[in-house]
Amino acid sequence: MTANAFTADTTATRHDWTLEEINALFALPFNDLLFKAQQVHRAHFDANAVQVSTLLSIKTGACPEDCKYCPQSGHYNTQLEKEKLLEIEKVVAQAQAAKEAGASRFCMGAAWRSPRDKDLVLVEEMVRQVKALGLETCMTLGMVDGDQANRLAAAGLDYYNHNLDTSPDFYGEIITTRTFSDRLDTLATVREAGMKVCSGGILGMGEGAQDRSALLQQLAKLSPHPESVPINMLVKVPGTPLENVEDLDPIEFIRAIAVARIMMPQSHVRLSAGREQMSESTQALAFLAGANSIFYGDKLLTTGNPQADRDRALFAKLGLHPEKRETCESEDTQAARIAQQTQQQRAAELAVDASV
């Protein structure tokens, strides 16, 4: 199959993509690839709506896994301050602030290999209280078994995040303490418990083009597709083995966003970690390529993320708006509040200027 032979089917949902087909998509002329991704995107979503989530680290550092990209791994000295599991009240307060800032989903992450029973009791209560605020809930807690997944589902957890990270072949170069099959097993367990799946990968870890194709192939094999697919650009953290890896060309990153959109047409494709280092132009291309979800706020677990006011300004510049969610306030109310916050921010800046 040649690249030019591919015709985008804007309605088909497939789980049988071959590496030859995926490589052919990546090889398309850039304009053609983005055009096909736009066709698929517009068939399933409002092209100018972006789902907005906020991510909070509820337990930071001292993770026993050896993921070479992660500042929370106990195997590396990254000067990260370790924190115990946050109190429920602090988590709920952060969730309320996230909702007021425009988020419709609140994601909570803990640096565990897998949760302990005594911790899971607290996590379940976090889910219940955050959900009571009218937010969608998401957790990433490492590997979970069937009983743990069922308990989380019973507490009302909407999404469980567990990334595949990279291709099966390259996986062993990045992580040795957990197998690729372990990750697939956790995703199957979460799905069997009735929760939605959030699963994606990290690009720019030194993988080859074939690895990026193989990662997307594995994600698309999942049935159903993950409802949320975060595509992360590696954030190089001093002290980790990947701190000096060569940067991935931003155009290659955008190509991956577009191919993910075509292969998983009904999934939210999330422009995730690495946005702090991306220009507005790169982010705009990602939205054009079919990304329709972001994390909103100043931090993703332990790495930087564009400030909320910067995101609001970028949304205004591009004519984007937060996606309406049934579990959240109306889109009109949300848009009016964000506009009011922007005006307040500008007024504050003018006041500072006037006092100088």
CB atoms under 10 Å from CB of 339, counted, come to 12
Q: Give the per-residue pLDDT at 62.
A: 59
Q: What is the pTM of this model?
A: 0.81
- The pLDDT assigned to 239 comes to 80
Position 255 scores a pLDDT of 98
Distance CA 14, CA 24 (A): 16
Strands (E), 67-205: 105-110, 136-140, 159-161, 196-198, 201-203
- At residue 7, the pLDDT reads 58
What 3-state DSSP class applies to 135? coil
Omega of the bond prior to 71 within 30 degrees of 0, cis? no
Peptide bond into 230 cis (omega under 30): no
* pLDDT < 50: residue spans in the chain: 1-5, 76-81, 83, 299-305, 327-356
Please name the helix (run of DSSP H) or strand (run of DSSP E) that holds residue 268, with its range, or none: strand 268-271
* Separation of alpha carbons 120 and 152, rounded Å: 8
Q: In angstroms, rounded to a whole number, what is the distance separating the alpha carbons of residues 337 and 321?
A: 12
The single residue listed with the structure tokens 């000295």 is 77
User: What is the set of active-site residues?
Assistant: 63, 67, 70, 107, 138, 198, 270
Q: What pLDDT does residue 15 have?
A: 96
